[in-house]
Amino acid sequence: MYQQGGCLMTKALESVNWKQYGLEHPGGKGLPKGPAAVLIHLASTNVQFTSEAKEAVSDNVEVHEEIRRAMLEVGRGLKNHLKKSKQKKKAQEKFDLINIILPEISRKSSEMLGREEPDLSPVITRIMNAVFLEDEVSWDNDAKQNICSVTIYNYTARARAYTILAKWPEGEGVSMAENPRGGRKETNGLWAWRLDTLNPGESAEIRFTVEGLTKGDWNETDIFFRGNGDIIGANKIDEKLLDEMRKVEALAVAEAEHSRYEDIGSLERVLDRAEIIESLDTSKEVSDSETTPAETEGASVESGDWGSLAMEDDVE
């Protein structure tokens, strides 16, 4: 908009106290400070503008309230996302610290006492008391493939069962090359694996490779899960959003099939017309080449008569 300050959408955005949702918003007035980007899409056949130049959306109480409610919902989602990111960062620091310090203490103590190093999994389980997930996307320069590895650590006192879902850049010319755990496709670009039993202190790795990309095309992924209990490093899948994604994919497939059948129908009509024209041409050639016996005899008699007349002329 050319007149940002006079636009209804800007006013609705400014009416929300973004500080309580995790963004810097000095005094609770004006636009919040980033890093953040907010996209507001207003669709209507009768959008009211302040002037014919359409430089700003004019004031409307109902529209203002609807946009404000939408921003509040976005703010709640942003707050949860920032909270989980903060928890993940703290857990990652704690996890790294424990996995660096405890093994060193164990190794030095074992050397001093002349004993074997003990299993640290029960100790880490008591300290962490959480299910932790690490993911990494790397590039294999020799095979020209992307390698995605997802490792789940169960540092709790009981066994766990999860379904792990990972996003990957599925598309034309891009496919999974190796996938030892199998799993199934949930929707376009989303694959799922079932982990039936993950005992306390154990870990499980999901690893797959993707071919058809170049270096730098795919550097990170999003991991989701189904199951009881949170996983630090992954988000619980939104089943409603997943259903919407499936519906969109099914609609796209149906439209593609419909377009394909229309193209096939058009092609068949063209071929039918071509066959009709070809049959007409063939019939014409046959009719031109075939002659009746009477026509042949008439032609011979006529040629004979002309020959006899020519001979009579020569004699005279």
At residue 276, the pLDDT reads 61
For the stretch 95-128, pLDDT in tens is 778 878 888 888 888 888 888 888 887 787 778 7
Query: How far apart, in whole angstroms, are the C-alpha atoms of residue 155 and residue 249?
Result: 38
At residue 17, the pLDDT reads 87
Q: Kindly report the pTM of this predicted structure.
A: 0.58
* pLDDT more than 70, % of the chain: 82
Q: Which residue has the tokens 């490779």?
A: 209
For the stretch 56-65, pLDDT in tens is 888 888 999 9
At residue 121, the pLDDT reads 76
For the stretch 250-262, pLDDT in tens is 888 787 777 776 6
Amino acid at 63: V
Residues with Cβ within 8 Å of residue 76, at least 6 apart in sequence: 21
| First-residue to last-residue Cα distance in the chain | 110
Name the stretches of the chain with pLDDT < 70: 1-2, 261-316
